Amino acid sequence: MATPLPLSDVRILAASQLGAGPWALSLLSDLGADVIKLEPPGRGDEARWIPPFAADGDSLYYQALNRGCRSMALDLRHPRGQEVLHRIVPSCDAVYNNLRGGEPERLGLTFAALERIHPGIVCCSLSGFGQTGPRAEEPGYDFLVQAYTGFMALTGEPGGPPTRSGVSVVDFSAGLVSVLALLIALRSSAASGKGTEIDVSLYDTALSMLNYLASWNLSRGIRPRRTAASAHQSVVPAQIFPTADGHIVVMCMKEKFWRRLCEVLGEPELARDPRYAGFAERLENQEELLARLEEEFRRRSTKDWLAKLRGVVPCSPVYDVEEALADEHARAREMVVAIEHPVFGRLGQVANPIKMAGVRPEYRRAARLGEHTDEVLGDLGGYSSREIGALRVDGVIG
């Protein structure tokens, strides 16, 4: 018999849309969790309609974010929607949402609303700004939160416009924080029999990621700013350097790497120069030092520099997305997978990043809107086919 996946005994009812929540929950689904996605009948998750390649309520965007999750079309705003919810919740371990402000309370998705029917239920809310505070009721998206929390002010070249990261780093980070909190609470609930309410936000997550930059400001009034060549705020050299035919990233995050770089450059005396002897000295004299290093790196191709530096000094080429996915290390780590889809055919996707000895994640396509509605109602809610038909006629389900 095949070994059960580690989360095969976990069932999560999720009212989540777009990116942060669905993506994080899909990682749990890959590892066995039964994630039942509640979607509004008719249109479903907005991600189903986002191009490219969106057709008939499905899209590559939706497929990438909702892998392996079941779909139930349920109108929680319908007078009978709460009745359906309450019949399903006792069969679940957690209820998850990524709704803003008071929406979870209005839709009956909080621990206070569900404790009576399931004392051990864990209710997790992931929102833009959290359940409290002056912006709690505002929609919160990755782009907005990057602007609010200083990320955009720190990204891009000095003198240029504030710049958003090309990847939704706040969305994905907050999603991971939310499911980490969810798994911690599930462990506590299993031990005590008492559920809880979790409040995670993109905003709080992004502020926490300012970390040492925030500490510099709060403790000494230092105002971090954008740096040229995507350089580290305080470590020199640690940045992009132009080469003869492109770019390379070099990071001397330890003193030994600085000494090794000097040796590779054929200038070991640089490491002994009092102006560049330590982190503080190199930071103080960075203008002169970086000009010298830039001149050296322009003498050779990126390929030549990588051959000299790999395994000696931390370095990397600057890939585009296609090159990143084709890299030999990505393939060796089995980070590119393929899933069959009845309409789109063979879908290429990135794999689950969690590696566990003896565990092979199970990759399945995302569901059609309402594909599992009848199945969930029958198996978890005990509804008969006649009752299900009546709910559909009344517009409670899709």
Enumerate the active-site residues.
171
Q: Which of 352, 320, 323 is nearest to 336 (CA)?
A: 352
User: CB count, 10 Å around CB of 338?
Assistant: 11
Asked if 72 and 58 count as a contact pair (C-beta separation under 8 A), the reply is no
48: which residues sit within 8 A by CB, 6+ positions away? 54, 57, 58, 59, 62, 369
| Cα separation values, 47 from 20, 32, 63, 75, Å | 11, 23, 9, 18
CA distance 204 to 198: 13
| DSSP annotation string for 301-365 | -HHHHHHHHTTTS-EEE---HHHHHH-HHHHHTT-EEEEEETTTEEEEEEPPS---TT------P
Strand-pairing partners, residue 122, are 94, 196
CA distance 320 to 29: 29
CA distance 70 to 319: 35
106: which residues sit within 8 A by CB, 6+ positions away? none
Asked if 255 and 278 count as a contact pair (C-beta separation under 8 A), the reply is yes
Amino acid at 45: D
| CA dihedral sign of residues 343, 346, 348, 352 | positive
| Cα separation values, 292 from 195, 227, 249, 281, 288, Å | 60, 18, 16, 15, 6
| Cα separation values, 316 from 232, 247, 302, 313, 319, Å | 15, 9, 9, 10, 9
Token digits for 42?
């008719």
| CA dihedral sign of residues 112, 118, 119, 124 | negative
User: CB count, 10 Å around CB of 178?
Assistant: 28
